[in-house]
Structure 1
Amino acid sequence: MKSFSHKSSELKKKLKGNELSIGSWLTIPHQSIVEIMASAGFEWLTIDIEHSAIDYQTVQNLIGHIQGNNMASLVRVSENDEVVIKRVMDAGADGVIVPMVKNAEEAKKAVSFVKYPPIGKRGVGLSRAQHYGVKFDSYNKWVNSQAVIIAQIEHIQAVENLEAILDVDGIDGIIVGPYDLSASMGKPGMFEDEDVKQVLKRIDEITIKKNKPLGFHVISSDHVKMLEKINKKYSFLAFSLDFFFLGDKAREEMNKLSSKI
């Protein structure tokens, strides 16, 4: 079982210092996928329960495997909901990525769902996170100082309210969800559209001005796309996701083979 201050504290420190941290996305719920991703050198993995069929029991098992392979375990929750966030945190997650945060009030709710009173409003339960009841006091201190809370910026309203979101105490950073952000502008997936590019530039400028970590989910499995974001001072970067790494490599090699036979 994880300690309360290992990989999560390293990630928290990097977020505070705007230091580069690279993780990836998990949608295939199997121990083998975690171990393979760990071998690539990722610092953290995010279990996606917004756009996958992964259930809570599986989430807890995956958290254990991720932490057991020396990575921080984040969960991209299905919604900014008290019960959802409480359950994944009780399962032992190092933090949450909260989708579709559009304003400061929603950001404050996310923080309150992670932390216990008097800081937040999370109900107290005894599960894996609290070492099944024997380390609640230690966990309470850990969750207030080390739990990671990321607001996902994926709607044009969030961009309009970005400064206020970044000012919310307890929000450690943001991560841009490019598909939903462009969709909220009526231009889904049109990343080369000038309006979409200007909105992304605005996010960069505001976040850098506030001295907060820039985060982005680079969907492509091409490392060149990651370098582009690193060169733009993005520091909290999710590099692609499990099925794209698998599928892209398989298709690439099969295409090469097909051209030679």
Structure 2
Amino acid sequence: MTRAASFKRRLLGAEMTAGLFCCSYGVQVVEALAGSGFDYLLFDAEHTPNSLPQLHAQLCALADSPTVPIVRLASLDLVAIKLLLDMGVAGLMVPNVQSAEEAAQAVRFTRYPPHGVRGVAGSVRATRYGRDRDYLARAEDRFSLIVQVETAASVKDAERIAATPGVDGVFVGPNDLAADMGLLGQPGHPEVVEAVSAGLRRIRQAGKSAGVLCAEADVPLYRAAGANLFALGSDLGLLVKTADALAQRHCSAPAASPRQD
């Protein structure tokens, strides 16, 4: 069983998985994190200037690790999905999915005909450049599709979205949800926490993996609500937090103020 197929099996079984966003688009950072023991690394192509060649290099840096690579797309885009699947990602996260119909479209974009519209390529990384003769028949078993719900309306509709055939997990985004609820910058607000928890429960009722971005301290809270797919921050977040704390203990220079440009 490949690591991608193993990860999908764990998602379908709602087993506990934890990973980290990668926002630095740095090959050396990925190579260093490859030995940390995360279940997955989530490469962010939505909010970072991560190019396809950079992503390819990062995937290569993770190739010998049991940690699987997942990429968060910028949007539901057929061309981007086709290219990333051909690059051999183990999973995709589609942001801001608003309905079961959008979720179904995402599924179609990742499947070969007759169940979808994915184009067929031969000499690409996903097929080991044509050496993997079983790839076309087994592609669905080696790939996980996760969709994100990030608005109050989509979180309330999370059960129907999660029930979409071909969707392996639904990930609740607390930051955008907070903004949509009129609580910009307050993902820890009690109303947001309750909305996230309710969304997670709806996803699990549909029998799919429920995911969330949260601090380590909030894992028990969201675990109790049904979450099993956790993003525990980002590479840059860990770097900045650790660096700031170290500097505050030993340095006299003030922390950098926000830029105004």
RMSD: 1.8
Deviation at 1:84, TM superposition (A): 0.8
Q: In structure 2, what residue type is equivalent to 1:149? A: L
Decide whether the 8 Å contact of 1:45 with 1:74 is kept in 2.
yes
Amino acid of the structure 2 residue aligned with 1:161:
D
What CA deviation, in whole Å up to 9, does each residue of 1:24-43 have, x standing for no partner?
Answer: 11111222211222232111
Q: 1:193 aligns with which of 170, 186, 189?
A: 189
- Report the number of matched residues: 251
2:41 equivalent to 1:40: no
Provide the C-alpha distance between the structure 2 equivalents of 1:73 and 1:251, rounded to a whole number of angstroms: 28
C-alpha displacement of 1:258: 4.5
- Deviation larger for 224-233 or 156-165: 224-233
CA gap of 1:227–1:252, structure 2 versus 1, over 3 A, is: farther
TM-score, normalised by the number of residues in structure 2: 0.89
Distance (Å, rounded) in 2 between the aligned partners of 1:142 and 1:247? 41
CA 1:100–1:134 in structure 2 vs 1: closer, same or farther (change >3 Å)?
same
Indicate yes or no: 2:23 matched with 1:27. Answer: yes
Q: CA-to-partner distance for each residue in 1:4-58, whole Å, 9 max, x for gaps? A: x421122111111111011111111222211222232111111111111110111
Task: Tell me the residue number matched to 1:71.
Answer: 67
1:194–1:227: structure 2 CA closer, same or farther, 3 Å change rule?
closer
Does residue 128 of the first structure (1) align with residue 121 of the second (2)? no
1:229 is matched with which residue?
222
Question: Is this contact kept in 2: 1:45–1:66, CA < 8 A?
Answer: no
Provide the residue aligned with 1:170 in structure 2: 166
C-alpha distance in 1 between matches for 2:137 and 2:170: 23
Report the 3-state secondary structure (helix = DSSP H, G, I; strand = E; otherwise coil) of the residue aligned with 1:117. Answer: coil
Output the CA distance in 2 between the equivalents of 1:34 and 1:195.
Answer: 35
| 1:93 aligned onto 2:89 | yes
Matches within 5 A, 1:239-254: 239-254=232-247
User: Equivalent residue for 1:143?
Assistant: 139
- Per-residue deviation, 1:124: 1.5
AA aligned opposite 1:246: L
Q: What whole-Å deviation, never above 9, does each CA across 1:105-125 have from its counterpart, x for those lacking one?
A: 110111111111111111122
Could you tell me how far apart the structure 1 residues matched to 2:13 and 2:118 are? Answer: 28
Deviations 1:111-150 (A, max 9, x none): 1111111111111223111222343x51112222231000
Q: Is the 8 A contact 2:200 2:211 kept in 1?
A: no
* Cα distance in 1, alignment partners of residues 218 and 198 from structure 2: 19
Hey, what's the Cα distance between the residues in 2 that align with 1:139 and 1:9?
Answer: 12
Q: Within 2, Cα distance between the matches of 1:15 and 1:252?
A: 35
Please, which moves more after superposition, 203-212 or 74-83? 203-212
Tell whether the 8 Å contact from 1:178 to 1:189 is kept in structure 2 after alignment: no
**Which residue of structure 2 lines up, in the alignment, with residue 257 of structure 1?**
250
Equivalents in 2 of 1:232, 1:158: separation in Å? Answer: 18
1:82 alignment partner, one of 74, 78, 81: 78
Distance in 2 of aligned mates of 1:20 and 1:71: 14
Shift of 1:216: 0.7
